[in-house]
Structure 1
Amino acid sequence: MRQQIDGAVVLTAADEDATEYLPNRGVFFAQLLGKGLGQAFGFYKGTMDPGCEISRELHAETTETIYILSGKALGIVGDREVPLGPGQMMHVDKNVHHGLRNAGAGPLEFLVIGHPDF
């Protein structure tokens, strides 16, 4: 369900189509909000299969915040790895190399906010 109501958006994340975030196999994103949908920032629901990762990347124009919903993750910032679990987040400024790895035996579920959108 996605509804526009008087300047607001109401949606069910599970109803949004997820696409694989290639070349990172086993990583899927559903875009909930973003510049293509009329917002200045991007809001995404991500899932990652066990043993998969988002390779180190860098965004010159965008800050990124990752919030872990369920599972066990390793946040990668520069050359460091930081354990992350449900209720924890990692915020990455522009021009900082970063990544995310599923460190658990089950799926990793997380939210991503990019400002401005990617």
Structure 2
Amino acid sequence: MRQQIDGAVVLTAADEDVMEYLPNRGVFMAQLLGRDRGNAFGFYRGTMGPGCEISRELHTETTETIYILAGQALGIVGDREVPLGPGQMMHVETNVHHGLRNTGAGPLEFLVIGHPDF
């Protein structure tokens, strides 16, 4: 469901288009908010299969916050690896190498906030 209301939008995350986050195989993202709605604030829902990962990346103009909904993950920040589980988040400032790996036996479900949008 997506409903435009003057000054707002109501949507169901599961109904939004999902695309594979290439070149990271097994990682799927749905953009919920972005430059076209959300005032350049990016909000994404992601799923990742067991053993899959978002390779180390760096954003020069965007901070990134990852919130774990379900599953077990390993957050990579610079040279450190941090275990993450449901209810935990990792915030990464601009110009910091980072990544995310599913270390659990089932799917990893997470939210990503980019400010401004990627």
**Structure 2 counterpart of 1:14:** 14
Q: Which runs of 4+ in 1 moved over 6 A?
A: none
Counting matched residue pairs gives 118
Partner-residue secondary structure (3-state), 2:36: helix
CA distance in structure 2 between the partners assigned to 1:9 and 1:95 by the alignment:
32
Cα RMSD of the aligned pairs, angstroms, is 0.8
Mapping 1:37-116, distance limit 5 Å: 37=37, 39-116=39-116
TM-score normalized with structure 2 length: 0.97
Cα distance, 1:38 vs structure 2: 5.2
Residue 35 of structure 1: aligned partner = 35
Counterpart amino acid of residue 56 in structure 1? R
Paired letter, 1:59: H
2: CA distance, partners of 1:39 / 1:27:
25
SS at match of 1:14: helix
Distance apart, 1:4 and its partner CA? 1.4
| Letter paired with 2:37 | L
Distance 2:44 2:95 in 1: 20
Structure 2 runs not aligned, ≥5 long: none
Sequence identity percentage: 87
Structure 2: distance between partners of 1:4 and 1:112 = 23
Structure 1 length normalisation: TM-score? 0.97
Between the aligned partners of 1:38 and 1:105, the Cα distance in structure 2 is 34
